[in-house]
Structure 1
Amino acid sequence: MSSMSDWFEPWNSQELYQETVKASTTCASSSPIEEQGIVCGPVLRLRYVDYKTDLYHGSILIVTRNKGQEDAPQIKYTTGPSHPSSENSPLRYGEFEPTMFYSETFEGSEIHMYRYNVMLSLTEYEQTVKYTVNGDSKMHYRFFIPSRNTDFNVISYSCNGFSVSTNTTTFKGSMWFDIMNKHSDVHYNVMLGGGDQIYSDGISLFSDKVREWVETKDPLKKRNMVADDAFKKDLSHFYMKEYLEWYGYGHWKGSTENSKTTQTCFPIALATIPSVNIWDDHDTIDGWGSYSDSLMKTSVFSSIGKASFKYYMLFQHHVSLEEKDAYLQDKMWLLGREPSPFIGELSHSVFTRVGPNMAMLGLDCRTERSLKTIVLRSTYDAMFERLTQEVKTQKFDHLLLMLGVPIAYPRMVMLEWLFTSRLLFPLKYLSRKGIVAPGFVNEFNGDVELLDDLNDHWCSRHHKRERNWLLARLQDFGAKYGVRITILSGDVHLASMGRFRSRQHRHHPVASTETQKTNAFIDEQPENDERLMVNVISSAVTNAPPPPTVSRVLQKKTPIHRFDHETDEDAVPMFNFETNGGTPRQITCFLPQRNWSDIVPIKNVLNNEHMQKFYRLKLGDRLLPGMVTREYGLESVDKIKPNNSKGHRNPPYPVTERGVMATHHVETESTNINSKTTAYSMPIPELRITKDKLSHTGIKHMREK
């Protein structure tokens, strides 16, 4: 076990993990799952933090193969201060107790899953928790717990895998290596997985039963095929194997010789940064939930959903569906109130404090999803009841709301109309027959391949009423209780910052003095703008980005929308330079390169030598969203220019004591194994005012109450 003499030993992540990145474009020819011993884990998970009792609650997952049920690995731990300034604080020793919560026969061997309960007291200083597994100590077997008075350093990421036919040979770097390099200096306390933590689209290739179903040409036979016990066993085998290989080894193989990767730093990150996750379609199968109800209700598709949900809960939440307390009564859950239509289980959203002044809510936007509904109304009611209860019990200044798919994103109305139009019927027919453009339609029900992606979006014709209703309620909640809401999303394989804020009056040839004052107030005092909500869109941490033409189209499709008479919706034009730092960009709202993001409290930036040297900021600065340069950090301005433009405004945002810094870490060069990233940041201030009620007149599409 550790002692004070070596407690503060340096953690050189660059030196430790650089060699592992060389495997990013290849993988073992056969499955790396070992025949005996630990085959997955340790995987850390944050459950909740109770600031009334000053207790931190989490869990650790370890999966073994061909070991006795009673032969649980032993995890011992030591806690102590993270910084020498608190070195007089004593080290404390203990052991995390295991619970064997699930077992399964897998390829003729026994799989046992163990959950270790983590419950530790918060202290006046940041703690490092170092642990050993069966006496084995590794540098990354540690995690960091903030002091009882400090908010969390948060990572947000999504799309952690490749599509089945992606050519991975050009992606020689690893964003997980970059995360590890920054973690050793920043000390991230939690990473929020916004969906697609694993890509299971290969089920149609590597599950014999699903492949047989996909290859069935007769649509009637396909729809009526029954998923019998053998079929369901095949599904279980696929998801168990997929999770063991990816979560245990970072191993993945796609459909071509050039579709493979080993992301060794991903399992390393899982062992050192506790996770909180929600899921999205690729955790199941591409598009799950956004196909027609007739397909979703089939025996095959509903069985796929049920199997994936089971293993999602096992590996990403460390819970078995058979455990009443852990599955249905844990304090972290925000449960749906009625079984979901195709899986038959309650949706599982997650709430926890991530600091005395911050909270996060991961909204389960997949379990209840159907073509015309994302989340059931009763679940929304439960969500706002929980938020109201929590903020009344103990006020928080900032809410991080996880939504898998961006809610502030360009509309694709024309494509939706085209893909569902009868005009395309002849082409779809020929594509189904394999005569013309065989990849134009999907292999499940013959719809246009991209239609499920469009149907997934909040702005799609099926969901826009639900979207606007939710946004209005979020604005009302934030304004009433003085809570700044920041939305975290992924899914779209690029970096962006959507934004809602108080409307600026424009299009007047000669603006009145009063109008100019109002507009100036909105720009100058965002901390007093009760309608300001930023949607941090971070995707993909692993998957390939779209071509540059996509970002050009999106930029053109992103005018300033009027959400209601008092709220503007746009995107923050923060990508002012290419990642090389020297070339100005014209497409400033979207950057199609691999990325991940973090949300760090301003107080933590100021108190961390590494971050302070990087951002070069101080309280009271007004910073323009944009690229962070090594020489100057973010550009600081003293005076705001008057708004004479109809385009995207880029006013500065103040560095405030209770604010946060939101940063996109964008891959600088995908062919470089050094895996460097370029940072694009903006401060997000707290909300300093309250209003009992906001007006939402003028919303075009609004769900009925």
Structure 2
Amino acid sequence: MLELHDDWDTQALYQDEVNNCNSCDEKSPIRDSGIICGPNLRLVGVNYAQNLYRASMLLVCRGVQCPEVSFIRGPSNSKQVGADTNNISRGQLTSTLFYVDNGIDFYRYTIEFPMESYEQLVKYTIDGEHKPHYRFFVPSKTSNFNVMSYSCNGFSLNVDTTKFQGSMWFDVLNKHAKTHYHVMLGGGDQIYSDGINIFCKGFKKWLAEKNAVKKYRAQLTSELRAELEQFYLNEYLEWYGYGYWKGATLQSKTTQKCFPIAMATIPSINIWDDHDIIDGFGSYSHSFQSTEVFSGVGKAAYKYYVLFQHHVSIEEKGPYLEDESWLLGHKDGDYIEEKSHSVLTRLGPTNALLGLDCRTERKLKQIISWDTYDLVFRRLEQEVAKGKIDHLMVMLGVPIAYPRMVWLESIFSSRALAPVKFLAKKGIIARGLVNSFNGDIELLDDLNDHWCARHHKKERNYLIAKLQDFGAKNGVRVTILSGDVHLSCVGRFRSKLHSHHLTSGKDEDVKKVLNEPEKDVRLMFNVISSAIVNTPPPNAMGALLQKRSGIHHFDHNTDEDMVPLFQTDVDGSNRTNFSFMNRRNWSDLIPIENVMESDYLRGLYQVSLGDYCYSGLVSGTGLQTMQGDTEHDGNKKQDVTYPVTSKGLIASIHAEKDTLNKDSATEAYAVVIPELQKKETTISHAGIKHVSPDV
């Protein structure tokens, strides 16, 4: 009989998986029968009014009957298990066959448990078989969740994957064994599907069509639709089932075996981004996006995105559309022709998550429609009315507090480049300069994707102002989580530091901003963690971003800048690009209360309630704290401290030390995020540019 407690040494269990990360052959690993993908856990939501934890498990099978899933649950700490074992329960999960695809069965298992006064460990078996990672943790009903966050979970088509011998997912599993992550947040690009350009023959033929009229008028035949769907089905089965992926060259292949293991032991909540579909989807011209074939790519990707990442089918109309955790868009997106599916749920009694779908409604000049924004902020007010929220985490696929690149955008979209683009498209010069879709400069879709792109400035400023208003009115600290850019950094909005002041009153305002950040209603961090698998950009990109990362004025009362988090490199040397770390990475956000209750976390950060901590390397000495009653004098406007408060968080970015090291060791860089200990019914946004009139 399965016992609740045993030793779980991830270093010993999964070192073989890491050692074989790049030893796969060309043959697909998908089995002919049995469980061909899963188990894959998803956190559906938490209802504290009903004291109910809700999750689901996905198993994808072929040629076998519905597997039986049994579980045992009880206190995660073996010392809390009573002699009479009354706090240990056993049972079976209820299954639903919710989709069938050419003989492949999709089973969703319902997980619903009451929250207890202690953290629970849930272990499960599938048809009587138990593996060490068939377990997950449910926090106590009074504790907020330990959160792990990641993005860009795959390689670009031409990357030489042999240069990355370790697996960041191995590091995640090692940290999880000690930290107990209750949820992992996929911030977009959970799968890289750009190979559709190569491996889907019908789509490849369409891309190669030279006659623009034929290309734009081509119909999506039933054969091509089936081929597109088969591509995405196989992509998910290989990547989610086995961690297997291949790109354009012999060196562009990998087997990240620790990724499926992580999905079986940490429940996930996901949003999607362009690579979950195809590079740049949503940021090309309306005429190109509206073609039957390219629109069909988006529809096929969406179908399998919700199947594998949300455990639902687009054909389910009841539970699919009505679950309380969904926040549906106002109307169908123009190209995918489905409503956007954002997620809103509590991640603890006083913490919440808003995962915004920034791709389904996306167009060249729109990310999310104004009507959908109205629905989002109406739901947020309803959520606050249910009970106090100390911290709201907002997932956006693309960073919103990030250096501007509008000058590059202007150059790449200039009409003066038309002759060069024509010659590149014909292959006469610089063959890789333009993309194979619509002949634009290859990097232009990435720039158009950014919130700071000229088409999105108005929408960006509207969203930031609305989040500030919501937080100030309700006393909620808002932290934004983003990915996409293949490096890590932390953007920041905060009250303006007046540098040319004539009165002592302004001096006091500056001191309050620097020394009382817990009362700053404009303080919002954008934790940017990317990529957990893909290759980072060169040092030159980090240097360019550092030069572009000065202090910007969002409005007359709000500044935005980058936190100087990476002043020390992973080897202890000083860094000049101190706000940007171009190493593979992932992040976590741990409630301060949980840090104080964990011997491991308390030893890692070495902080106490009331400490004021600098942002930076944790290493073996913990976070650096301000000594004595010292105050910031304003000379160091960026390198300031934040207080360790009972309802706050510690956000850490775990950066890879050595790509050739199979141990996949990382160094942690942390910033303390205090809760908001103040409310303001209204705050001014005077001086804001490019914004909707209702802000």
Q: What is the CA deviation profile of residues 133-171 of structure 1, one whole-angstrom value per residue up to 9, with x for unaligned ones?
A: 111101100000000000000011000000011111111
**Alignment partner of 1:56 out of 48, 53, 62:** 53
Q: 2:99 aligns with which of 77, 102, 122?
A: 102
How far residue 633 of structure 1 moved from its aligned partner, in angstroms, is 3.7
Partners of 1:102 and 1:114 within 8 A in 2: yes
Deviation track 1:273-323 (CA, whole Å, cap 9, x = no partner) reads 000000000000000000000010000111000010000000000000111
Could you say what secondary structure the match of 2:309 adopts? helix
Residue 655 of structure 1 corresponds to 644
Aligned to 1:2: 2
Q: Check the 8 A contact 1:27/1:253 in 2, yes or no.
A: no
1:214 corresponds in structure 2 to 207
**What's the RMSD between the two structures over aligned residues?**
1.0
1:28 Cα deviation (Å)?
Answer: 2.7
Distance 1:636 1:221 in 2: 67
User: 1:396 offset after TM fit, Å?
Assistant: 1.1
Deviations 1:422-461 (A, max 9, x none): 1111110110000100100000010000000000000000
Tell me whether 1:568 sits opposite 2:568 in the alignment: no
Matches of 2:49 and 2:550, distance apart in 1: 46
SS at match of 1:664: strand
- Structure 2 counterpart of 1:526: 517
Q: How does 1:322-333 map to 2 (within 5 A)?
A: 322-333=315-326
1:245-264 equivalences under 5 Å are 245-264=238-257
User: Which residue pairs with 2:399 in the alignment?
Assistant: 406
2:138 paired with 1:145: yes
Candidates 561, 582, 585, aligned match of 1:595: 585
The alpha-carbon deviation at position 640 of structure 1 amounts to 3.0
2:31 is aligned with 1:34: yes
Where does residue 686 of structure 1 map in the other structure?
675
How many Å apart are 1:494 and its aligned residue?
Answer: 0.4
Corresponding residue of 1:695: 684
- Read off the aligned partner of 2:591 and give its amino acid letter: P
User: 2:371 matched to which residue of 1?
Assistant: 378
2:490 corresponds in structure 1 to 497
SS in 2 for 1:24: coil
Distance in 2 of aligned mates of 1:521 and 1:186: 34
Name 2:9's counterpart in structure 1.
12
User: For 1:468-512, what per-residue CA distance to the aligned partner results, in whole angstroms no more than 9, with x for missing partners?
Assistant: 01111110000000000000000000000000000000146xx64
> AA paired with 1:607?
E
SS at match of 1:310: helix
- 1:287, 1:453 within 8 Å by CA — same for their partners in 2? yes
Q: Matched residue of 1:314: which SS?
A: helix
**Aligned runs of 1:474-553 on 2, under 5 Å?**
474-507=467-500, 512-553=503-544
Q: Distance in 2 between matches of 1:169 and 1:405?
A: 28
Does the aligned pair in 2 maintain the 1:599–1:660 contact within 8 Å?
Answer: yes
Matches within 5 A, 1:225-264: 225-264=218-257
Which residue in the other structure is 1:305 paired with?
298
Distance 2:468 2:564 in 1: 23
Equivalent in the alignment of 2:67: 73
The one-character-per-residue Cα deviations of 1:629-662 (angstroms, maximum 9, x if unpaired) are 20344344432331135xx511110000000000
Aligned pair partner of 2:634 in 626, 643, 661: 643
* Residue 675 of structure 1 pairs with residue 672 of structure 2: no
Q: Which amino acid aligns with 1:47?
A: V
- Determine which of 603, 606, 613 is the counterpart of 2:603: 613
Secondary structure of the structure 2 residue equivalent to 1:80: strand
2: CA distance, partners of 1:578 / 1:281: 31
Distance across 2 between alignment mates of 1:54 and 1:413: 48
- What's 1:317 paired with? 310
Give the Cα separation in 2 of the matches to 1:591 and 1:187: 26
Partner secondary structure for residue 318 of structure 2? helix
| 2:611 alignment partner AA | D
Encode CA deviations 1:669-700: one digit per residue, 9 max, x unaligned. Answer: 11111100010001100001111101000012
Output the CA distance in 1 between the equivalents of 2:69 and 2:585. 33
Letter in 1 for 2:70: K
Separation in structure 1 between the aligned mates of residue 81 and residue 543 of structure 2, nearest angstrom: 53
* Residue 113 (structure 2) aligns with: 120
List gaps (5 residues or longer) in structure 1: none
Contact 1:407-1:458 within 8 A present in 2 as well: yes
Question: Structure 1 vs Structure 2: percent identity of aligned residues?
Answer: 52
Q: Residues of 1 paired with 2:157 and 2:622: CA distance? A: 42
Q: Which amino acid aligns with 1:142?
A: R
| One-letter identity of the residue aligned with 2:258 | C
2: CA distance, partners of 1:446 / 1:58: 44
Q: State the Cα deviation string for residues 168-190 of structure 1 (Å, max 9, x = none).
A: 11111111000000001100000
CA 635–174 in structure 1, closer or farther in 2 if over 3 Å, else same: farther
Specify which of 548, 555, 569 is matched with residue 557 of structure 1: 548
- CA distance in 1 between counterparts of 2:444 and 2:175 reads 38
Residue type at the aligned position of 1:86: Q
Question: Bigger shift: 517-526 or 282-291?
Answer: 517-526
The aligned residue for residue 87 of structure 1 is: 81
Whether the 8 Å CA contact 1:412–1:454 is kept in 2: the answer is yes
Find the residue that maps to 1:205 and give its secondary structure: helix
Q: 1:584 aligns with which of 574, 580, 597?
A: 574
The answer to whether the 8 Å contact 1:25/1:172 transfers is yes
Partners of 1:87 and 1:518 in 2: CA distance: 53
In 2, distance between residues paired with 1:254 and 1:275? 26
For residues 26 and 697 of structure 1, the distance between their equivalents in structure 2, rounded to whole angstroms, comes to 58
Q: Rate the CA distance shift 1:635–1:171 in 2: closer, same or farther, 3 A.
A: farther
Q: Determine the C-alpha separation between the residues in 2 that align with 1:596 and 1:519.
A: 33
**Structure 2 CA distance, aligned partners of 1:197 and 1:94?**
32
Q: What's 1:465 paired with?
A: 458
**Corresponding position of 1:289:** 282
Output the CA distance in 1 between the equivalents of 2:225 and 2:631.
62
Paired residue secondary structure (1:523): helix
Preserved contact between residue 600 and residue 661 of structure 1 (Cα < 8 Å) = yes
Match of 1:431 in 2: 424
Within the candidate set 140, 146, 149, 1:156 is matched to: 149
- The aligned amino acid for 2:526 is N
Give the conservation status (yes or no) of the 8 Å contact 1:624–1:637. Answer: no
2: CA distance between counterparts of 1:518 and 1:551? 33
TM-score for the superposition, normalised by structure 1:
0.97
Name the CA distance, whole Å, in 2 between partners of 1:112 and 1:397. 42
Q: Deviations over 1:534-555 (max 9, x none)?
A: 0000000000000010011001
- Asked whether the equivalents of residues 642 and 672 of structure 2 are also in contact (C-alpha less than 8 Å), the reply is yes
Structure 1 residues 334 and 632: alpha-carbon distance in aligned structure 2, compared to 1, 3 A threshold: closer
TM-aligned CA deviation for residue 2 of structure 1 = 2.3
Residue 91 (structure 1) shift: 1.2
